[in-house]
Amino acid sequence: MKIRTSSLVACALLTLPCAGLAQDITGLATLGYAYSSVSGGRPDVNSLSLDGAGTLGFQNGFSLDLDGALKHANPDRGGNAGVFDIGGVLNYTLYTGPVVGIYLEYASLDSNGLLGRDINATSYGLTGGYDGPLVQAKLFYGGTDATAIVGATSDWTDYGLNVGYTPTTYTTFAAHWMRSDIDSALADTKVTSMGVGTNHDFANGFSVFAGISHMDFAALNIDSTSYGLGVGYDFSQIARVPAQVSLEFARTTIDPVGRNTDVDSIRLGVTIPIGGSTSSAPLNSAASNAMSTRHNALSTFYDNLY
């Protein structure tokens, strides 16, 4: 499966003249810190993160979803690890709710040897689904050009589904399933990811959020399960401070051949709304990673790690 990245970039550039028509801007930015205890004799890790996600809504039915993450993990000994990814989805929504779009993402992934070599990946493809006030569902199909798990380079075919259910303005449930089929010169493999998350805001400013995700990485015979539970408080309830503070307890269990690795994390976050107010889990949480994922399965795992 091959889609020309240059064609997608050209389509994105064609939307720039519409920027002045933006009617709505909503989003979040989360500044996070995490302390992680890693089993198996590995060093403890201190991590800093900056995540952002938002939507520009236009009068003509178009919208542009943007998101990005920068994460830096500093072990007590050994080399650093990090994640940098950024992406966008250009959507067109019909009046009755159906939506179609194109996406483009870039990710640079460094696990400091935990999952083998570092990976640089550019993902691109098509999306389609339904965006209603109660139910949201979106399919995607695309590809990734990446440095290979085995060999020099590889081509990935990515496909998956995200679904959401919003029974009230204060409660959200969402889930994902996705798969990346990886084709390199030396071997073929696949990565599968699935997860579910929820967020609920209480009237007194407190919120709770939880999420769980599972990844199966066939190339290295690795299973990974990430889950977390957290609470937040919106300071705008007591002061003119548009910020939410959050605390999450999370664990990622990685099960490769011969040994298990548990990464237990305590995550702190400060989330600031961008534009209009939104109800969402902090972007550095397991809940957010399960509810709103990247468009390839391996990037989703790296976002959950620290």
* Full DSSP string of 233-288: EEGGGTSS---EEEEEEEEEEEE-TT--EEEEEEEEEEEEEEEB------TTSHHH
Q: Residue 2: what pLDDT? A: 38
Measure the CA–CA gap between 82 and 92, rounded to whole angstroms. 33
Measure the CA–CA gap between 279 and 291, rounded to whole angstroms. 13
Q: Residue 279: what pLDDT? A: 66
Other beta carbons within 10 angstroms of residue 121's beta carbon come to: 23
Q: Is the dihedral of CA 106, 112, 114, 116 positive or negative?
A: positive
Which residue do the tokens 């992680």 mark? 36
DSSP result, 88-143: EEEEEE-TTSEEEEEEEEEEEEE-TBTTBS-EEEEEEEEEEEEE-SSEEEEEEEEE
Please check whether residue 283 is in contact with residue 51, taking contact to mean a CB–CB distance below 8 angstroms. yes
Residues 6+ apart with CB under 8 A from 247: 230, 231, 232, 266, 267, 268, 269
pLDDT tens digits for the chain (306 residues)? 333 444 344 444 444 444 455 568 888 999 999 999 988 777 888 999 999 999 988 878 899 999 999 988 888 876 677 888 899 999 999 877 899 999 999 988 776 655 556 778 899 999 999 988 899 999 999 998 877 555 556 678 999 999 999 998 889 999 999 998 887 666 677 889 999 999 999 988 899 999 999 988 776 677 889 999 999 999 888 888 889 999 999 999 888 655 678 889 999 999 999 876 656 899 999 999 999 888 887 777 777 776
Phi, psi (deg, nearest 5) at residue 287: -65, -50
Measure the CA–CA gap between 212 and 84, rounded to whole angstroms. 22
Measure the CA–CA gap between 278 and 170, rounded to whole angstroms. 10
Measure the CA–CA gap between 139 and 127, rounded to whole angstroms. 6
Record the pTM: 0.85
Q: Residue 276: what pLDDT? A: 62
Please check whether residue 109 is in contact with residue 77, taking contact to mean a CB–CB distance below 8 angstroms. no
Other beta carbons within 10 angstroms of residue 82's beta carbon come to: 20
DSSP 6: H
